[in-house]
A and B are shown apart, each in its own frame.
Chain A
Amino acid sequence: MRAFTQFVQQLYGANQSQYPDGGQVGIRAMRENALALFLQKELPDKHIQGWQQSVLNKKARTDYVQKLRPDPYRPLAEYFQCRVQDLHPTVLPVSNGWFISENQTVNVDEQGVITGSLFAAIRQYPDLVLPLLAHPNLEKENGLVALNEALFNDGVFVYIPDNVKVEVPMQIVSLMNTTDPLLVNNRHLIVLGNNAELSVIQCDDSIQKESTFSNNVSEIYLGENAHLHYYKTENKDAASMLLHHVFVHQKSYATFTSTAITFNAGYVCNSFHVNLNEPMAEAKLYGLYLVDKEQVCDNHIFINHAAPDCKSYQLYKGIMDDEASANFHGHILVAPDSQRTAAFQTNKNLLLTDKAHVTTKPFLEIYADDVQCSHGATVGQLDEEALYYLRTRGIGEAAANRLLMFAFANEIVQNVAIEALRDRLGNMVQHRLHGELNVCAQCMLNNNIVFPITLEE
């Protein structure tokens, strides 16, 4: 048993009586079962497909602490403001792993949309939450998912009833505001009924410099013809580790579109596991990772074509500077009866220095015969011919480089359907490429910074 595994066992022993259970006996059993699995599986290491290069075991410490209850209530606006102009989302705030609300009850609007703390939802709507709470296939997943299920504290619960189209985007703001080395296992559950529609923006930020370990799981259930637009970004301190495993379960004609943009953090792991369980379901996944210094970003994507006539599309792009490194591990599985599957996967990378590193493994596993599938990966430098062309028009080398890098990255940002968010993310990408990390790190946190700047300036 490795040191971190031992540490988790002790931590669980010491804290278990204080883990919340929402008044449901089943939750304790769920934790026990998950812990046993974690002790057996441990953190994924080089023996597990896709984790060969991972720095996770090297970075995981054995002195983490857990916050066993929420901090005293303070309105979010007192210490955090996200200033994406003209976005005006419904904010679902999470601080140090706990949903922030004054009265610890969920909010139900006139259309029946439920939002709030996961544990509040377990208490108030056990019939809605409990059947979807435990991960359906825990023994098949790597140890991180079991770790989350054993230790999970709070998270966000969202329920959209049948036929409700939510116009206002929801923004889950997960903040770390601590100087302790916190271990946080958030559990988010998002359920869309038939014909429901929603946009969710998941933002992870840190306020202090801290060596936290966030190991979050989102379970997303999409009913027939439900449509979820999911955006994920983060701005974390370089000492932090942020892992997020998103599981999507889709019924027929359901669509899931995600854009995951990684700006800043010590270690980020974005994992999407999409189950196209019924015919005509569709998933589009876009990703962008911009890493420098010694940052590391892992991307794991698993698309399970479990039914015929489904479509999936992936486009992930990365720029690695300095000594940064990234991993792309994409796996498409087409089951024997999943005829007429269309599945495409592309991963493109730019390496800016000799010491930057990327490992890319696009992978198709196909058991049906009537399918249209492709995968491809590129690793390269900026196009010399394009650079030359820009320079012959009077654009200096540095500006030409930035213009091409922005163009490369912007292909991902352009897929953001919400204009205000797209503009802001595009702006942040520009700043990131200018090396303005501090400004970038603050821009979601500081309400006084405005960005009128355009690329030319």
Chain B
Amino acid sequence: MLKIEDLHVSIKDREILKGVNLEVKAGEVHAIMGPNGTGKSTLASAIAGKSGYEVTQGNIWFKGKNLLDLSIEDRAREGVFIGFQYPVEIPGVSIANFMRTALNEVRKYRGLDPLNGAQFLKLMAEKQKVVELTDKLSTRSVNEGFSGGEKKRNEIFQMALLDPYLAVLDETDSGLDIDALRIVANGINHLRGADKSIIVITHYQRLLDYIVPDVVHVLFDGKIVMSGPKELALELEKRGYDWIKEEYEQGKL
């Protein structure tokens, strides 16, 4: 599904990612953990294609195509979804209009007919249930005046509608109370399937109680320095990241 090879990314000439290698197979869920400022969000932005994130070396293979050759929108149309840590507010654009435009652009790219209004509304109602969002949602402006939890639920709702092959969720659990966390986790689990892959970027282990990962990676100083089974997340939760830092600095990792 996704194969990242020796990825180096700089922002304004400062190298943030220093050779990331990562392979995520279809059907797998990977968690990427690590302390602040080690490049987790940069990795998500590089996969999305955000301007200002200069890839100086490496490749991002997705279903046989190098994402680095594609525009931001074409990456999304190929089936990559990025769940943002801080989703922007877009006053004046209703969620329904936004998502119908997005979905139909994706369908057009894949050679499918656009959904008409009734078809879209039916699909939207169905996906709203997944994240327990109310009907009022469709007329509201994207993220405008949403609470932190509502913004994250809106991200998962968009993911459910677009039904991507790969979802990269950047700290989707931050700022959520326990109920919102459960709802968001349910939404993510809803996407899981044999032909789908999910990368969960998180600080904390608690989301992983709900979304059990196949592999846990630790990103430190722009590289993946450790990978292991789901138990690694529990260990990180217990011991923190200082021991990783020490071992990394001693050259053990």
A residues contacting B by CB (< 8 A) are: 383, 385-386, 388-397, 399-400, 403-404, 406-408, 410-411, 454-457
Complex Cα–Cα for A301 and B105 (A)? 42
| Complexed CA–CA distance, A457 and B105 (Å) | 10
List, in ascending order, chain B residues with CB within 8 A of A390's CB.
Answer: 90, 98, 102
A399 and B101 contact, CB distance less than 8 A: yes
A406 vs B35: C-alpha distance in the bound complex, in angstroms?
41
Please measure, in the bound complex, the distance between the C-alpha atom of A408 and the C-alpha atom of B92, giving whole angstroms. Answer: 7
Given contacts A404-B93, A456-B101, contact A394 B162 (CB under 8 A): yes
CB <8 Å contact, B91 and A396: no
A–B pairs, 23, beta carbons within 8 Å: A383-B90, A385-B88, A388-B50, A390-B102, A391-B73, A392-B75, A392-B81, A393-B98, A393-B158, A394-B103, A394-B105, A394-B106, A395-B98, A397-B71, A399-B101, A400-B73, A404-B90, A407-B90, A407-B91, A411-B91, A455-B97, A456-B100, A456-B114
Contact call B101/A391, Cβ cutoff below 8 A: no
B99: chain A residues within 8 A (beta carbon)? 393
**Whole-angstrom CA separation of A119 from B73 in the bound complex:** 61
Given contacts A388-B51, A403-B98, contact A395 B92 (CB under 8 A): no
When distances are taken between beta carbons in the complex, the residues of chain A under 8 Å from B77 are 394
Out of A386, A392, A408, name the residue touching B48 (CB < 8 Å). A392
Q: Which B residue's beta carbon lies closest to that of A412? A: B92
| Residue with the highest number of chain B CB atoms closer than 10 Å, among A383, A386, A395, A404 | A395
Contacts of B87 in A (CB 8 A): 389
- Chain B: CB-nearest residue to A410: B92
Selected from B73, B82, B90, B100, the residue in CB contact (under 8 A) with A386 is: B90
CB distance from B119 to the nearest CB of A (A): 12
Residues of chain B within 8 A of A406, CB atoms compared: 92-93
- Taking CB atoms, residues of chain B closer than 8 Å to A408 are 92
Question: Does B199 make an interface contact (CB < 8 A)?
Answer: no
Q: Which residues of A contact B50 (CB under 8 A)?
A: 388
- Do A386 and B88 touch across chains, with their CB atoms under 8 A apart? yes
Contact of B109 among A386, A394, A411, A455 (CB under 8 A): A394
Chain B residues within 8 Å of A457, by CB: 114
Q: Is the interface of A mostly helix, strand, loop or mixed?
A: helix
A184 to chain B, nearest CB (A): 37
Which residues of the other chain, A, contact B90 by a CB distance below 8 angstroms?
Answer: 383, 386, 389-390, 404, 407
Residues on B with C-beta less than 8 A from A454 are: 117
Distance (whole angstroms) from the CB of B168 to the closest CB of chain A? 10
B102, A395: Cβ atoms closer than 8 Å: yes
Judged by a CB distance under 8 angstroms, whether B72 is at the interface is yes
Kindly list chain A residues whose C-beta atoms are within 8 Å of the C-beta of B71.
391, 397
Contacts of A392 in B (CB 8 A): 48, 72-73, 75-76, 81-82
Q: Is the CB of A411 within 8 A of B158?
A: no
Q: Mark B103-133, 1 if CB is under 8 A from A, else 0.
A: 1111001000010010000000000000000
Q: Which of B51, B81, B105 contacts A395 (CB 8 A)?
A: B105
CA distance A395 to B107 in the complex (A): 11
The reply to whether A456 and B92 contact each other, CB–CB distance below 8 Å, is: no
> What distance in Å separates the Cβ of B48 from its nearest Cβ neighbour in chain A?
5
A397 and B93: CB pair below 8 A? no
Given contacts A389-B87, A456-B100, contact A394 B76 (CB under 8 A): yes
Task: Return the chain A residue nearest B94 by Cβ.
Answer: A407
**A388-B50, A395-B73 known, 9 other contacts, Cβ within 8 Å:** A386-B90, A388-B51, A388-B72, A391-B76, A394-B162, A404-B90, A455-B97, A456-B100, A456-B101
Chain B residues with CB under 8 A of A388: 48, 50-51, 72
**A396, B105: Cβ atoms under 8 Å?**
yes
**When the two chains form their complex, are residues A393 and B88 in contact, meaning their CB atoms are under 8 A apart?**
no
Q: CB distance B93 to A391 under 8 Å? A: no
- Chain B: minimal CB distance from A70 (Å): 44
Whether B241 is near chain A, meaning CB under 8 Å from some CB there, is no
Residue contact A407 to B51, C-beta cutoff 8 Å: no
Minimum Cβ distance to chain B for residue A351 (Å): 18
Q: How far is the CA of A389 from the CA of B72 in the complex (A)?
A: 10
Contacts of A389 on B, CB cut-off 8 Å?
A: 84, 87-88, 90, 142
B50 nearest CB across to chain A (Å): 6
Contact B92 A394 (CB under 8 A): no
Chain A residue numbers with a CB within 8 Å of B75 are 392
Alpha-carbon distance between A456 and B117 when the two chains are bound, in angstroms: 10
Q: How far is the CA of A455 from the CA of B48 in the complex (A)?
A: 25
Closest to B83 in A: A392
Task: Point out the residues of chain B lying under 8 angstroms from A393, CB to CB.
Answer: 76, 98-99, 102, 158, 162
Q: Is the CB of B104 within 8 A of A456?
A: yes
| CB nearest to A408 among chain B residues | B92
B101 engages A455 (CB within 8 Å):
yes
Tell me the minimal C-beta distance from A350 to chain B in angstroms. 12
Smallest Cβ distance from A391 to chain B, in angstroms?
4
Query: Which residues of the other chain, B, contact A391 by a CB distance below 8 angstroms?
Result: 71-73, 76
Query: Which single residue of chain B is at the shortest CB-CB distance from A403?
Result: B93
For the complex formed, measure the closest distance between the CB of B226 and the CB atoms of chain A, giving whole angstroms: 29
Q: How far is the CA of A391 from the CA of B109 in the complex (A)?
A: 14
Contact assessment for B101 and A383 in the assembled complex, using a CB-CB cutoff below 8 Å: no
Which 5 residue pairs spanning A and B have beta carbons closest together? A407-B92, A394-B76, A393-B102, A391-B72, A394-B106
Task: Tell me which of B81, B97, B99 has the highest count of chain A C-beta atoms within 10 A of its own C-beta.
Answer: B97
Q: How far is the CB of A299 from chain B (nearest CB, A)?
A: 21
Q: Which residues of A contact B109 (CB under 8 A)?
A: 394
Residue with the highest number of chain B CB atoms closer than 10 Å, among A392, A395, A454: A392
Interface centre among B73, B77, B82, B162, by most chain A C-beta atoms within 10 angstroms, is B73
Tell me the bound Cα distance from A403 to B102 in angstroms. 11
Q: Which residues of A contact B158 (CB under 8 A)?
A: 393
Closest to A406 in B: B92
Q: Roughly how many angstroms separate A19 CA and B82 CA in the complex, as a whole number?
A: 70
Flag if A395 contacts B101 (CB, 8 Å): yes
- Docked-complex contact B97 and A456, CB < 8 angstroms: yes
How many whole Å from A123's CB to the nearest CB in chain B? 49
Which residues from chain B contact A404 at a C-beta distance below 8 Å?
Answer: 90, 93
Residue of B nearest to A413 (CB): B92
A403-B72 Cα distance, complex, nearest whole Å: 17
Tell me, rounded to whole Å, the shortest Cβ–Cβ distance linking B78 to chain A.
Answer: 9
In the assembled complex, the Cα of A394 lies from the Cα of B102 at a distance in Å of: 5
What distance in Å separates the Cβ of B140 from its nearest Cβ neighbour in chain A?
13
Closest to B92 in A: A407
Most buried by B among A386, A391, A457: A391
